[in-house]
Structure 1
Amino acid sequence: TLNSNEKILLALGCSRFWYLCFSWVYSFLSLIYPNYLYVHPIFPLLNSAQNFFNCSNLWFSASLCVFFCITIANFRNNFFIYLKVKIDSIVPWLLLGSVLFSLVMGTTIYNVMDKALSNNLNFTSQGRIWKAGIRIDQHFFPHYFIIGFGYATSFSAVILSALLLLFSLW
């Protein structure tokens, strides 16, 4: 069996490997077959998969920072001692939450790309006349809010764990 540190590192390594694979496929298609990216499901699927693995890289790195902060830091707080004792049982749930949130981010990017590509159609086509008066940011504001919230949360978790570790070692 793997310990908690190895589980996080294995998940981080796998997500980075698949991120590089999807980036390679995207670069290959854009160089060799640039018109193939304009086929409807290919471009949103590649972007959403690439964003899914990028977001999972971010969240697995943040969970690794939080894990090291909890295992290394020496605080006498009861909640911190409880986290230090229960960290091995928390890590699988933390990894599952990271994957689920990355999946939410990937589907959000797919929806944004799908709406952006469908808005490029002619506004005089059937069923599109009423959408000409709606501003574009009304469509994308909830998606950008979710994406920004995800990046801000992981960034604040990394900064908070680094500051707690510095204060503990000081």
Structure 2
Amino acid sequence: MKTLKRACTAAGLFTLAAGLALPLAGRAQERDPDDLIQRGRYLAQVASCNDCHTPGYFMSGGQVPETLWLTGDNFGWRGPWGTTYGSNLRLYLQNLSEEEWIRDARTLRRRPPMPWFNLNIMEEDDLRALYHYIRSLGEPGEPAPAYVPPDQEPATAYARFPSPPPGE
């Protein structure tokens, strides 16, 4: 009987400790908004978001003021799919909730050269950080040029991707 009493008491203490720890674990995952924004800034740089989504970033080796980051670019990327442009991510996220962004980032496929497959597997915390960073940047600006189908000549400067090798 004493052993059963001890087991029940131990189980009760374990349940109480676990119940108290759960809210604390949740708080440990909450981040300071400034930390989240700084993490998003870092990710935008190391994931090369600016290379296509910031005017002149790639060609200047990243020497573009942050006030222009992720406002889209009018330099096109042309290949067998047509011509695509780095969209204005500030404008794109302006009317999306954080949850809509997460769902979108996980499911949408995009035209080349966007590495959508990398975005699809990005950690949720990182997607949230990017969202908060992009939303913190301020005025969204103007949209980037629209997609141009393969049979039409783009009106802007562009880089040409070769056709895929035969059999692919």
TM-score past 0.5 threshold? no
Q: Given the two structures, how large is their TM-score scaled by the length of structure 1? A: 0.25
Q: Which has the higher contact order (CA 8 A, sep 6+)?
A: 1
Q: Given the two structures, how large is their TM-score scaled by the length of structure 2? A: 0.25
Q: Compare the two structures and name the one with the higher helix fraction.
A: 1
Q: Compare the two structures and name the one with the higher strand fraction.
A: 2
Q: Which has the larger radius of gyration?
A: 2
